[in-house]
Structure 1
Amino acid sequence: MSGFIISHLTPQISLLMTQYLKPKILTSAVLLALLFSCGKGEQATEVSVVQRMDTTATNTHYISNRAPLKPSALIKLPVGSVKPEGFLKEYLLRQKNGLTGHLGEISAWLQKEDNAWLSKDGEGDWGWEEVPYWLKGYANIGYLLEDQQMIDEAKIWLEGTINSQRADGNFGPKHFEGENQDFWANMIMLYCLQSYYEYSQDDRVIDLMTQYFKFQLTVPDEHFLTGYWQKLRGGDNLHSVFWLYNRTGAPFLLELAEKIHRNTSDWVGRDHDLEAIHNYYEVRDGGEVPDWYRDLIDWHNVNHAQAFREPAQYYLLSHEPKHLRATYDNFDIIREHFGQVPGGMFGSDENARPGYADPRQGIETCGMVEQLNSNEHLLRITGDPFWADHAEEVAYNTYPAAVMPDFKSLHYITSPNMVLLDAENHAPGIANSGPFLMMNPFSSRCCQHNHAQGWPYLVENLWMATPDNGVVAAIYGPSTVKAKVGDGQEVTIQEKTQYPFRGQLEFTIGTAKPTKFPLYLRIPAWTTGATVRINGETLKEHVTGAGYLKLNREWTSGDKVTLTLGMELQVKTWEKNSNSFSVSYGPLTYSLLIGEDYIRKESDETAIWDSKWQEGVDTKKWPSWEVRPTTDWNYTLVLDKDNPAASLEVEERPWPENDFPFTPDNVPVLIKAKGKQIPQWTLDQYGLVGELKDLPASSDQPVTDVTLIPMGAARLRITAFPNVK
């Protein structure tokens, strides 16, 4: 039997093998005959569990990291290779029909008249980060939905950008910090150009980026990446340099990469001087700055969410483990002090402030989508399934409730515990002065535009190519992927699922001819056990521990792979946040169901001070909304934390007909629980949920029935419950 690795055989083969084994006459020749005679399409399957992808091979169909960069752990497929289905497609359609799709008609920063992004000389009254922030998502939604109107509108801005390149190689608006150019907005536009190139193969993008990066190399270090935003976010510039290097191999790009890292803020170092930490900060009650505050170069929520990964990006060139370790440490440090809350993010509001870490502190919508983008980068760099787990945690728990269900307005700050979204000022309870909690289509200028990338970028990264010419279902969601595998055969794989609400996923292979390639399925860290079947037959059961199931076989059209991820109720205690606790079921965290009353407000009367819309816009078509509670919210749960299943009941409901599960009325899973009110738990003087640390140690109120719904569907929510006896 030399040369065969048979992890699974069909029942017919197994039966015949048993018959042959009795007289002990099984030979390689006999086994070959059995394999080719038993049932068409039935193939032997090599099944294994791996922690990471083997990077000794190089994918021959898709552009991977070129030496001397570290080999690609996972490879991004070109834009359009992955198409959304189910609720993910519904999300993109709502974006198209909502704020994202119409922002070009209402945002002053997106007006074409006198816009520096459409100016040959880079001059104009309008033109900084807003256009590329919005275009990242808008254009890619057009590509994913094959919406020609959106593609054509995006092309106007892309053509303007390409035509703006000047003789020295520079392009885009002439925006300066003092005497030095601000390169930040160009970093975002490079993402847009890269997506456009993947979609169109327009070589003008390669030419523009080559000349632009040659220009950047000529800028003296003392004038390069100076100031605040661009210096902290140099990792985005570095990403684009590596993207171009992998396509051209131009040696000067590696020199520029070194220069970018050298001039980017120090995301590797610890114990910084306070003078080097330039974000606004305060310490509660005028206390001393804690020593740990010096362990990060910046505590602004968006800066951290997108820039903490820069050392891992540079690791691709340096090969030094300390750089990769620094990114993991950056992630952990901010969560150690401000992220002891459910939902995957951290309580920074605008800037993380020592002493303000209660679950009522929140995160910008910008911070959420930049965290998702960072996770997707790091998944490709490391292959570590942790980053996919975390991307799902943020995307399916924290992000959905930051936006109205119709995607026509959003709020700036979203918190795990928030029970009133109004137009009032809640500072200093949160670190922002103004109406930052209400749903408004015009506030604030960053999130208003930057939110657009969240869902389309997630869709593009659901599937990735692997170094061994396979594909991996890296992040789970209903979708279809078309990719070249094996010896170059193009296959389609349809992923049908109601994940993250259900644990069943079905993958159907489509191929013009039988082809052999490895298919990888991610095993999330939270699952109590994964089972995989092919064409109804079980291959492996009880798989636990974060990693990937590798299924290597010759696939034929119509083959079906079924992955079942065991879900159990779990209770997480947040010891550093007053021993509060949260409830999860599978990848979803659950919040108290609170009645929601939506009160319409006029946007031109409630938007923050820097909101601007185009002249003639009918703001009444774009109202704002307060959301006020109609039921009591001051409950904790009565449960056995060691055996949550004994005191919690999972109730499955039909899938919503409109394919949108992120509203209280539509959620397909509820949890029935018992709760007790805490009368002392009220809104405080700032109009925010009272802090957990101020609550009594016990409650004498009667036990009553309460309902929990997925956190992502709860725009009003209590998600971190008080530890009250």
Structure 2
Amino acid sequence: MKNSVGFICLVLLSFLLIYWRVDNNAKISSVARPSTLTTNAFYISNKAPLQSSNFTKLPIGAITPGGWVKKYLELQRDGLTGHLGEISAWLDKKNNAWFSGNGTGDHGWEEVPYWLKGYGDLGYVLHDDAIIKETRLWLDKAFESQQPNGYFGPAIVESQHQDNKGATPDLWPNMIMLWCMQSYYEYTQDARVIPFITKYFKWQSTVPDEKLLKIYWENSRGGDNLYSIYWLYNRTGESWLLDLAEKIHRNTANWMQKDNLPNWHNVNIAQCFREPATYYLQSKNPDHLAATYNDFHIIRNLYGQVPGGMFGADENARKGYDDPRQAVETCGMVEQMASDEILAGITGDVFWADNCEDVAFNTYPAAVMPDFKALRYLTAPNMVLSDSKNHAPGIQNDGPFLMMNPFSSRCCQHNHAQGWPYYAEYMWMATPDNGLVDMLYGTNEVTATVGSGEKVTLKQETNYPFDEHIKIQVNVAKGASFPLYLRIPAWCNNATLSINGKVVKSENKPGAYTRIERTWNDKDVVELVLPMEVSVKKWERNKNSASVNYGPLIFSLKIKEDYKQMDSKASAIGDSKWQASADPSKWPSFEIYPASNWNYGLVLNNSNPATQFKVVKKSWPANNFPFTLESVPLEIKAKGKIIEDWKIDQYGLCGVLPQSPVKVNSKEDDITLVPMGAARLRITAFPVVE
């Protein structure tokens, strides 16, 4: 009897302990998207009749990144992005049509706004006065260049692909400059911006359809123009802007084809596939939204059966070239990230933030040198040589497109700048119910207005994606009631949540958001754990190859990298140009050669992947930069066998994948896998050996 009473008391005590650990102040639910029946009261979102926003981008400067993201931004500032104005001939102010103030000059196309788009945002995110001042010099000249009819920028514009014979200036570079102006306005509230853009769009409205968006680049990329029209409409509400938006849409390339794309240029695809979803905000036609998803899947079904969130197109996708050795431009990577970030806001779908992380963590980091002083035009999931030779037709580009070079090329050299600044800007977004969503995890601090008008600062600490723990501290002067959304990635099962050290019962569905509605007090702490497990993904449609994942990270074979320094000018891509004062000794190029075996197949068995791989956790790097072979805080130990017949082929590329399973007689070796983003040489899609 005494034992029974003791047992009952123990059970009651257990229930009490559980009750005490539950936060009864919180209303917690799992939602696929926020409700859009209300509109955020504090941040500019879509104005009627546009489709209501799922999430709204916070003004630039609201988020201050920390941790490795801040380190990456500082490397950009101190490296190629921050000093490109001293290197690139296209950024030389002398006789530059973007800097003349009247549109005249012997050069001036996409390069200046490409660079300024990321360079300016880098300054705003880091609150760097020197960068902001330099950005202002260029923007002042753009303001000055506006003609009485509203057009601005270069009066005669270069076009690499089509001469429009002076009928209408090429509007593509101006599309990028508008984005520069939008960021500048969000940071400074400069009163010149709204009338400047309004006047320009008034001019666009006068251009007849037969002369509008007829050049290759502007025709493909009209969605960027469309995005700026909605940005302005949401601030002025002038109805004629919606008429212009419809005009731009009907003259933009057709990105709504069921089984085809308007062209197969990798950057166009990564950037332009979002155009139908952008126009959906106005049309509210679900077919437009569905078309963007369809475009995403068309390119990946054909050329994206590879790890890393991208697809293998080199510069242009070609039938029969879908092996993991096919690459993507650095331009394509950062444009895909930007598309994912924008689409996360338009659709509210976790899918887009997940894909952004896939590209940002796995594909993009290895496209640049660790010091961010050189970049590679093309990078592939399977890439075992990075030299200055011509690898065509194995890759689509004819020239030295695989080496790290600060002077190459006109596009990626300038456009790379937007990648990490934009990522930092989208780490948090505002919600329709006056809350915040933690969209892209990382150490940062965000200050925003929430609830009934309270100002709150959230400080987030994490080494994600290299660690599964995320801690958020709330700082508020008085109690504030507002919803906090936490993205649960689709890969994550069994996420756990606690508030102020107390376990909270919550569903935390993968591929959804955990919504916490409560009254928050100063120093409240939310902790989210996203358990990471080793998993193997089979790519049946690409030779039945396999890749190894751990949470959001993909792992590549650790190949010892042998760097050979080269003369940057002598080994630059043909269309590269640099200023006469640019010193190649300060901006070296590098070839990278494998100094260890790379032709391993992966030994797999049918048991749980966790039993055949060993995750090794190492200390966090002292320099806060985890994307080198030496500094990665995670490794995976695996088993592999050499495939003797898998060699560098006649084009100087990693040979195409053999069909798995591959029968070999070689011995089984211990191999080490490292995060894909840290591997500038890598095998990521493995043959499976027997």
Q: TM-score, normalised by structure 2?
A: 0.95
Which of 661, 668, 693 is the matching residue for 2:626? 661
Task: Please give the alpha-carbon distance, in whole angstroms, between the structure 2 residues aligned to 1:63 and 1:299.
Answer: 35
8 Å Cα contact 1:392/1:587 also seen in 2:
yes
Q: CA deviation at 1:697?
A: 3.0
Q: CA deviation at 1:541?
A: 5.2
Q: Which amino acid aligns with 2:344?
A: L
1:134 aligns with 2:134: no
Map of 1:260 onto structure 2: 248
8 Å Cα contact 1:529/1:541 also seen in 2:
no
Aligned 1:702-717 pairs, distance under 5 A: 702-717=667-682
Q: Residue by residue, what CA displacement relative to the aligned partner does 1:373-408 show, whole Å, maximum 9, x if unpaired?
A: 100110110000000000000000000000000000
Q: CA deviation at 1:686?
A: 0.4
Aligned 1:188-207 pairs, distance under 5 A: 188-207=176-195
1:521 aligns with 2:486: yes
Secondary structure of 2:473 counterpart: strand
8 Å Cα contact 2:603/2:688 also seen in 1:
no
Q: Which amino acid aligns with 1:683?
A: I
Aligned 1:75-224 pairs, distance under 5 A: 75-176=56-157, 177-178=164-165, 179-224=167-212
1:631 aligns with 2:612: no
Map of 1:249 onto structure 2: 237
Task: Please give the alpha-carbon distance, in whole angstroms, between the structure 2 residues aligned to 1:564 and 1:46.
Answer: 19
Which of 333, 347, 354 is the matching residue for 1:382? 347
8 Å Cα contact 1:419/1:689 also seen in 2:
yes
Q: CA deviation at 1:545?
A: 2.3
Q: Which amino acid aligns with 1:88?
A: V
Task: Please give the alpha-carbon distance, in whole angstroms, between the structure 2 residues aligned to 1:693 and 1:102.
Answer: 43
1:371 aligns with 2:336: yes
Q: Which amino acid aligns with 1:78?
A: P
Aligned 1:686-701 pairs, distance under 5 A: 686-693=651-658, 697-701=662-666
Task: Please give the alpha-carbon distance, in whole angstroms, between the structure 2 residues aligned to 1:42 and 1:635.
Answer: 51
Map of 1:45 onto structure 2: 26
Q: CA deviation at 1:723?
A: 2.8
Q: Residue by residue, what CA displacement relative to the aligned partner does 1:114-160 show, whole Å, maximum 9, x if unpaired?
A: 11112232111121100010011111111111111111011100111
1:492 aligns with 2:451: no
Q: Decide whether aligned partners of structure 1 residues 359 and 517 sit closer, same or farther in structure 2, where only a CA change above 3 A counts.
A: same
CA RMSD, Structure 1 to Structure 2 (Å): 1.8
Q: Which amino acid aligns with 2:203?
A: F
Q: Which amino acid aligns with 2:564?
A: I
Q: CA deviation at 1:412?
A: 0.5
Task: Please give the alpha-carbon distance, in whole angstroms, between the structure 2 residues aligned to 1:697 and 1:598.
Answer: 32
1:461 aligns with 2:426: yes
Task: Please give the alpha-carbon distance, in whole angstroms, between the structure 1 residues aligned to 2:327 and 2:334.
Answer: 14
Q: Which amino acid aligns with 1:51?
A: A
Map of 1:685 onto structure 2: 650
Task: Please give the alpha-carbon distance, in whole angstroms, between the structure 1 residues aligned to 2:214 and 2:109.
Answer: 16
Map of 1:286 onto structure 2: none
8 Å Cα contact 2:604/2:688 also seen in 1:
no
Which of 607, 622, 638 is the matching residue for 2:587? 622
Which of 422, 435, 454 is the matching residue for 2:400? 435
Map of 1:409 onto structure 2: 374
8 Å Cα contact 1:418/1:689 also seen in 2:
yes
Q: CA deviation at 1:16?
A: 12
Task: Please give the alpha-carbon distance, in whole angstroms, between the structure 2 residues aligned to 1:429 and 1:724.
Answer: 25
Q: Residue by residue, what CA displacement relative to the aligned partner does 1:604-657 show, whole Å, maximum 9, x if unpaired?
A: 110011111112221221110001111000001112255111110001000000
Q: Decide whether aligned partners of structure 1 residues 16 and 91 sit closer, same or farther in structure 2, where only a CA change above 3 A counts.
A: closer
8 Å Cα contact 1:43/1:553 also seen in 2:
no
More displaced, 511-520 or 692-701? 692-701
Aligned 1:265-304 pairs, distance under 5 A: 265-270=253-258, 295-304=260-269
Map of 1:226 onto structure 2: 214
Q: Residue by residue, what CA displacement relative to the aligned partner does 1:23-50 show, whole Å, maximum 9, x if unpaired?
A: xxxxxxxxxxxxxxx99x9861111100
Q: Decide whether aligned partners of structure 1 residues 694 and 674 sit closer, same or farther in structure 2, where only a CA change above 3 A counts.
A: closer
Q: Decide whether aligned partners of structure 1 residues 541 and 69 sit closer, same or farther in structure 2, where only a CA change above 3 A counts.
A: closer
8 Å Cα contact 1:416/1:719 also seen in 2:
yes
Q: Gapped runs of 5+ residues in structure 2?
A: 1-11, 158-163
Secondary structure of 2:147 counterpart: coil
Secondary structure of 1:584 counterpart: strand
8 Å Cα contact 1:463/1:472 also seen in 2:
yes
Task: Please give the alpha-carbon distance, in whole angstroms, between the structure 2 residues aligned to 1:153 and 1:616.
Answer: 19
8 Å Cα contact 2:554/2:676 also seen in 1:
yes
Which of 657, 664, 672 is the matching residue for 2:637? 672
More displaced, 532-541 or 216-225? 532-541
Task: Please give the alpha-carbon distance, in whole angstroms, between the structure 1 residues aligned to 2:590 and 2:564.
Answer: 5
Q: Decide whether aligned partners of structure 1 residues 475 and 618 sit closer, same or farther in structure 2, where only a CA change above 3 A counts.
A: same
Task: Please give the alpha-carbon distance, in whole angstroms, between the structure 1 residues aligned to 2:313 and 2:403.
Answer: 18
Q: Which amino acid aligns with 2:97?
A: A
8 Å Cα contact 2:461/2:472 also seen in 1:
yes
Task: Please give the alpha-carbon distance, in whole angstroms, between the structure 2 residues aligned to 1:570 and 1:694.
Answer: 21
Task: Please give the alpha-carbon distance, in whole angstroms, between the structure 2 residues aligned to 1:16 and 1:339.
Answer: 50
Task: Please give the alpha-carbon distance, in whole angstroms, between the structure 2 residues aligned to 1:192 and 1:514.
Answer: 37
8 Å Cα contact 2:661/2:687 also seen in 1:
no
Map of 1:609 onto structure 2: 574
Q: Gapped runs of 5+ residues in structure 1?
A: 1-10, 19-37, 271-291
